[in-house]
Chain A
Amino acid sequence: MAERITYYALVDSRSTRERPRTVLRRLETDEGNTDEMFSRDLTWESSPLLHGAEHGDTMFDFAEITEDEANEIVARIRAEAAQAE
């Protein structure tokens, strides 16, 4: 069980802070941290992208967001996927 969850909007050159590409979340427990991205399969899966940014990778911008904001983005991505089917 995560003790703390922090959400981040992933922004690339084709998305914006207001309409990010997707969401990542960092789950912090006594045992350590796990990063997950809301993926194209509409599931949360392990991702190294946030670590990349922390180690100097400038490929994406990450903006910390609230859980409500994260939920809105996930809902939007689900809706777009449903529409595309």
Chain B
Amino acid sequence: MKYFKNVLLITLLAVSSWGCNKDLLVTVPNDRISKEVFWKTDQDAIGATNFVYNYLENVQRWTNWDAMSEIGHISKSTLAESYLEKGAQDATSGVFSSVWNTNYTGIQAANIFLDNVDRVVTTNPALISRLKGEVRVLRANFYIQLAFLWGDVPLLTTETTLEASRKLTRTPVSQVWDFISKELTEAAALLPNSHATADKGRVTKGAALALKARAMLFAGRYTDAANAAKEVMDLKVYSLYPSYATLFTYAAENNIEVIFDKQYVKSLYRNSLFLTMCPNSVFPASTLNIVPTKQAIDIYQMTNGKEITDPTSGFDPYDPYKNRDPRLKYNFIVLGSVLTNGKIYDSRPFSGTGDAVGSAEIATSTGFNVNKYLIKEDASDNGNGGLNTIYLRYAEVLLTYAEAKIEANQIDASVLDAVNLIRKRADVNMPVYVDITSQAELRKIVRDERLRELSFEGLHYFDIRRWKTAELVVPGMLLGMTYTDKNGALQMVTLPGFVKTFNKNRDYLWPLPQREVELNPNLLPQNPGW
């Protein structure tokens, strides 16, 4: 019997497992959503739209732009951006592939949305149409950077397959600009002037038009740019926020000047702006990356409206920040500024503070720090910022309008009106310009005003490249603050080891990322000089 029991036991064990689990080889994941079950409801369409917003530039990328121009400097010399600053990069640089990949990833997400969204059975066609508008604007936004930085790039308007991606060719840049212009115009028609509170931060009609104004300015299509800017102005939705000093604070989020921003929430969708910007003495061992240079500071006029180089301006090199355009101190931390911790900023090399130039590799190397977006509320939990980063605001539209009109040689009173509006902001209150009609003079006025108003908002790097002034303003030794030494003599902070270069025959266009060329030789030839 025992014998049989044992046989039985083993047989049972075998049979109990044999043949069961017929679906052993069919595993369906439940920690992700398969494409087949998606695209059914309005919620799916909204979710897929939200996904595209993720590919808007992150804070780090965005703040690095101006730091790579002449007005800024990246302290960490090991960062790939630092090589670009020096002109020491080659086509393998991670900066190029990162910008390229992020934009094309956003484009693919947008294309997948646009190809599939009509599969949604909706009772709310208006919603779907609005979402299409949002996605098309985001896609156009991705193309603006690609077209501007690389010139001819592949223009993809539907979902790309792997096979196709290996054979793509470059579309002439003018056609890319055409596409951007058409998309933004059409999308604007699909979008509302504003959204309900719960949807603040979504693309609006104003965002589409303002982006078009920027794109056309970048493309050198000045009449189109001026017209688009005028359309934004005529919407009568936006006006300048009265306080420049608090424009970049939590209190002013979603204010009347903001046209488009990337929205953050503390803890949930956080940024690290504070860590990127704050002076060494405020948070030791911060990940400080970015400092302004002498050029960023000197552009600010005296409160009397005169340049500091003007002998009659009243500029006192021994007290250089007295009676200056207030935006200087709103935007930058300079000797004597009050820090978020209440202490006084003293970056003089001998000051003995954490900010003394040369005291640490992460202390400011120029004697200045950026103040824009650096706010007290973020100091305690400094990696956890929730401040929205503003990508488009009304002041830019006004300046774009003015610049486009000047370049298109349609100079009229509205040009100076636009500039003066900005200078007359309540807490800026700089003297207005009157009776200037020379194109050259106006050009300088608008360009300088643009820098004073918009510095470290991710635009100046692009501006000097479209103005073709980069070759003039970038090269040279890095310059910093001027201070009075112990003997009463004026000293200027310099970084002799850090020489910026700009090769006009090469650097106005970025190289196609080396890997893209390796994977798809159809993209060749490489941009000149690389």
A is bound by B: no
